Amino acid sequence: MKKSFTTRSLHVRFPKDDPHRALDMPVYESVAFEFNSAEDISANFKGELPAHVYSRSTNPTVEFFELKMKKLTGAHQALAVVSGMTAISNTIMGICKAGDNIISGHHLFAHTYALFDQSLRNYGLESRFCDTTNAEAVEKLIDENTRAIYFETVTNPQLEIADIKKLAEVARKYNLILIADSTLTPPVVFDSKSFGVNIEVMSTTKYVSGGATSFGGVVLDNGNYDWLLNPNLKELHSKFGKDTFIARLRKNYYRNTGGAMSAHTAHYQIMGLDMLELRVERSYNNSMELGSFLRNHRKVKDVNYPGLKDADNYLLAEQQFSGVPGTILTFDLESEEACFAFMNKLKLIRRATNMNDNKSLIIHPWSTIYVEFPEEQRLGMKIFPTTMRLSVGIEAARDLIGDIEQALA
């Protein structure tokens, strides 16, 4: 039988024995690494002697974090980077060139939307936005310059869930790469490969870091796409075969844009993986308890959490994410003023913008994250003035309920 996520995480072996037999991976905070001879360093640069050279390319602590991500997800290759945004931007740059386009979900993490709609557009790379919960809508936008389909496993704050197998079918039909941002559904609950995802990108700043300890991101290649099918990658295929995509990032975009994760960050992220399953379990149980409590409170107008049995997309959450569609929930009060008054009365739950911290965090997306968008556009994105987003932490459920109860009174 497959061992639990935590058991497996705790017992991944180092790629090389540590000279002191350290039990935990040491933090190799060194910029450069030395060679015994001029011949050796030359052999390394020719690609004949693999070794760490310079930490912007590879580093032993970061390499161990990548190895753990690979072992825990079953991915063919993993690349750790400095942030979620680096994982996303490097991935798209690694797949496309000017004149190409991608089809992307229209409800995206705000900075991903800005990256696609502004930054990458300036370099001739077009993003075509649509509702990825509707596979036919995705298919309609595809043309001969389309290279990938991009979606988020659970959108935030709408909490929409696409049928991933349907997206994978469309991607396969047109030889496109299916890319999932799985930040809200960590590898404890989501096995992206089994749904036909080719590339997974993740902001490990959120769950994996162990609770907002550090910025990080990871790119996972599931090894299930034939890189000969992508005109920008096929030349590298003769040299790198199955490793083509990660090789292109390592030798080009990742290295040349300076996206390296630091050894200290990798240390936090390694510890974060060991505690991930426990934390997700606790936050999920809290989310379920808070969800039912809020649903039954007379002052609460609406509660959205796809983990609740009567949610519209509960079935997709069950099938794709083992019933654990992240631990973010949203709820509505009668007005924006009521939301502000409620938030100001909270004594325990913090007013902050992050997600999947160990602490519970609350925000009013309408007046913060999305405030720069005109009102009509916000409504079009299903952002409403009456909605608050709660990132459920690992406190005791009774303490969180107590805080919410007194603030609603």
Ligand X SMILES: *Cc1c(COP(=O)(O)O)cnc(C)c1O
Which residues of this protein are in contact with ligand X, per CB under 6 A?
83-85, 109, 112, 152, 181, 183-184, 203, 205-206, 215, 217, 355
Name the residue nearer to ligand X (CB basis): 184 or 236. Answer: 184
C-alpha triplet 389, 392, 394: angle, nearest 5° = 165
Name the residue nearer to ligand X (CB basis): 139 or 152. Answer: 152
CB of 86 to ligand X, least distance (A): 7
Name the residue nearer to ligand X (CB basis): 146 or 203. Answer: 203
CB of 329 to ligand X, least distance (A): 15
CB of 145 to ligand X, least distance (A): 25
Name the residue nearer to ligand X (CB basis): 84 or 306. Answer: 84
CB of 354 to ligand X, least distance (A): 8
Residue keyed to tokens 């996520």: 5
What sections of 122-262 are H helices per DSSP? Answer: 135-140, 164-173, 234-240, 244-248, 254-257
User: Using CB atoms within 10 A of its CB, is residue 13 exposed (0-12), middle (13-18) or buried (19+)?
Assistant: exposed
The residue of the chain with the least Cβ separation from ligand X equals 84
What sections of 48-134 are H helices per DSSP? Answer: 60-73, 84-95, 110-114
Question: DSSP letters along 339-371, please?
Answer: HHHHHHH-SSSEE-S-SS-SS-EEE-GGGTTTT
Strand-strand pairing, 77-81 and 217-221: antiparallel
98-127: b or e for each residue (b if 16 or more CB lie within 10 Å)?
eebbbbbbbbbbebbbebbeeebeeeebbb
Name the residue nearer to ligand X (CB basis): 7 or 368. Answer: 368
CB of 202 to ligand X, least distance (A): 8
Name the residue nearer to ligand X (CB basis): 187 or 227. Answer: 187
CB of 123 to ligand X, least distance (A): 19
Half-sphere exposure of 340 (CA within 13 A, CB side): 7
